[in-house]
Chain A
Amino acid sequence: MGKKANNESERLGRILDRIADDIATAPGSELLDDARQDGRDPVQTAAKVKGLLRRALKNHQRGLMKKSQEGYEREVAAIRSRPIELPQTPQRRRELLSAVFSRKPQLQAAFTFQNRGFSELTDEDVENHLRKLALLGILDEVKPPEENE
């Protein structure tokens, strides 16, 4: 035999604990029958509970997206703030990136382009990639096409 409860609150607590144990292990069909007999609709309960869980999931995903977006923006801002000299025109910058990949084809797999081909890169992508390559010191080894001539 266990220890006697000290007061009514403790007695109620023990009873509620045993009831909770039963809720956790009772056959599901029994819980549903009881709910229906008490005038509750299990379909509505399911919609409500799933709604709560989905809302928590959505809020969490939103938080992750915001964090990732902020990280991306920080990275872009850092890249843009470095004094890096790139060719003036988008066409020249694209040629430079192409020259880098010709010289170092192994980089193409790393930089391009998770599901995209080189030609699909936007001018902004090209510029960002060149800045990253500059930060890595790779552009020092590759001259822009006109300077090679």
Chain B
Amino acid sequence: MAQEKAPEAPPARVATGLEISQAIEELTEEDSERLEQTAINRICRIGRLAAHNRTHEDLIQEAMCRILDGTRQWRPENVKFVPFLLGVIWSISSEWASHHERNPDSPEYAAIESQITKVDDEGNSHSPFEAIASTQPDVEDEIVRAELESEQKALLQQIEAHFSKDENASYVLMGWSDGMDGPAIRELFGLDETAYRTIVRRIRRYSQKIIRKGDGQKSK
């Protein structure tokens, strides 16, 4: 006998401007700390070149703008505001990074070129940037790239050196570098949940602190 299909639930509704405004006002100190730390972490993750010198504050604002203009739709019945905003921050930073990977030598306008390229009567595409000289990587970009690689190398070395005498923390860092998740690391190195959590907290606190410090030094 054919089974009757269960009626489909209506899609959850998108938040109104008022709900978004209320969610902002209801943010706790914990939420704000989480949002700021995530944005700082993500900007460091993608690097200055991919971020095009945009800061973690720009990243938070961009995420908010996309929620407000409906590019990213927050459905309060499905997810709370803070986890949703964190997800948008992650995805925008990934988007910036992948745009940079696809266009390593192109400046930011490459992202919108496809949107403003016009097609003539004969079907030929014309980009408004055709008149601009070729986008060969310039010397300045190369210098920034080299600087960035050296900064990332230094950051990694600083983190690893800080925990070099802490055997368990070194195991965790090694496991993460090798793409392992928490349960796999705990099992391999015989760490219980509490010990693992304590180590992760120490690594997180130290790493975020030196990332902030590095950002502060650069902006001076």
A binds B: yes
| A residues whose Cβ falls under 8 Å from a Cβ of B | 1-5, 8-9, 11-20, 22-24, 26, 28-32, 34-35, 37-38, 42-43, 45-46, 48-50, 52-57, 59-61
Contact yes or no, B60 A52, CB < 8 A: yes
Contact yes or no, B200 A22, CB < 8 A: yes
Indicate the size class of the contact surface on chain B: 35 or more
State in angstroms the CA–CA spacing of A82 and B176 once bound together.
71
What DSSP secondary structure best describes chain A's contact surface? helix
Q: Give residues 186-219 of B contacting A (CB, 8 Å).
A: 188, 200-201, 203-205, 207-209
Q: Which residues of chain A have C-beta atoms less than 8 A from B27's C-beta?
A: 46, 49-50, 53
Q: B14: CB under 8 A from chain A?
A: no
Contacting residue for A19 out of B25, B83, B180, B203, CB 8 A:
B203
What DSSP secondary structure best describes chain B's contact surface? helix
8 further interface pairs, Cβ-Cβ under 8 Å (given A20-B41, A28-B33, A48-B57): A8-B152, A31-B34, A31-B37, A45-B29, A48-B36, A53-B64, A57-B20, A60-B69
Q: B106: CB under 8 A from chain A?
A: no
Q: Which residues of chain B have C-beta atoms less than 8 A from A60's C-beta?
A: 17, 65, 68-69
Contact yes or no, B41 A16, CB < 8 A: yes
Q: B146: CB under 8 A from chain A?
A: no
Closest Cβ of chain A to B164, distance in Å, is: 14
Q: Which 10 A-B pairs have CB atoms at the shortest separation, nearest pair first? A: A2-B179, A28-B30, A56-B64, A49-B32, A46-B32, A60-B68, A42-B29, A11-B177, A12-B156, A16-B45
- If A13-B45, A43-B29, A55-B61 touch, whether A23 touches B37 (CB-CB below 8 Å) is yes
Q: Which residues of chain B have C-beta atoms less than 8 A from A1's C-beta?
A: 178-180, 184, 188
- If A2-B180, A11-B177 touch, whether A26 touches B31 (CB-CB below 8 Å) is no
Contacting residue for A24 out of B69, B86, B153, CB 8 A:
B86
Residue of A nearest to B174 (CB): A11
State in angstroms the CA–CA spacing of A1 and B29 once bound together.
37
Q: B38: CB under 8 A from chain A?
A: yes
